[in-house]
Structure 1
Amino acid sequence: MKDITQIEGVDTHPDWSHIPDHAYHVLLCTGPRCTQRGALQLWKSLRRRLLELHRIEVTGGVLLTRTHCQFPCNLGPVLTVYPQRCWYGVHSKADVIRLVDRHLISGEVVDDLLITGHS
């Protein structure tokens, strides 16, 4: 088996071998049900807002990841924030911007967007 560093066309820059230094890891579901509920547009809004605030690819910033199904699909699009383990249901661009500004910038949980264990 070939070592990945020997495969032509695969970027082997040293940065690709380290976990990025980040304060938050944000995962947005882009599974089929969340996508039907607008997750791809919300992904764009989320990324744009974080870029505007210079919070992506910076020390202490946000590591942003798209995922497949996270459940609970009927309450999505689902967005989770670690290390706090907050599960949010985001349904509009306004929700995303508020979540970025309050949770990811100010460090406050956005209670009215939280998904709790009971519906």
Structure 2
Amino acid sequence: MPIPSKPEWSHIPAHARHVMLCTGPRCTQRGAQQVWKVVRNELLAAQRMETADGVLLTRTHCQFPCNLGPVATVYPERCWYRIASADDARRLVREHLVAGTPVSALLLNGDTP
């Protein structure tokens, strides 16, 4: 049986930042699916989904540290976030992914990039 294919699946989507959001079992139990939906909808509303100045949003499996999830990482800044609510998700999009300023209050271990 042939594997489904589309021409656009052969190219890396345009993006300035890559956000990897854990949807592994422990992060999912802590609300990662809802966080993913909010981040995606906010990026679409801001017209920053897969654009040259926007974001490539990827769901991942476990990234660790599971007990602090839901965990999201943002590259190229190498920021590790705990995104515990829809409000946190909206703040991440508004402040870091659109305005370009990491959200220190959401960073794991209080690290700064």
TM-score, normalization by structure 1: 0.86
Partner of 1:107: 100
Identical columns (%): 60
Q: Which runs of 4+ in 1 moved over 3 A?
A: none
Q: Which runs of 5+ in 2 are unaligned?
A: none
Provide the secondary structure at the position in 2 that maps to 1:57: coil
- The answer (yes or no) to whether the contact 2:104–2:110 under 8 Å persists in 1 is no
Structure with higher Rg: it is 1
User: How is 1:19-58 mapped onto 2 (pairs within 5 angstroms)?
Assistant: 19-58=12-51
Residue among 2, 8, 11 paired with 1:8: 2
Instruction: Output the aligned Cα RMSD.
Output: 1.7
Partner of 2:54: 61
TM-score, normalization by structure 2: 0.91
Matches of 2:50 and 2:32, distance apart in 1: 22
Equivalent pairs, count: 111
Report the alpha carbon displacement of residue 26 of structure 1 after superposing the two structures with TM: 0.3
Partner of 1:3: none
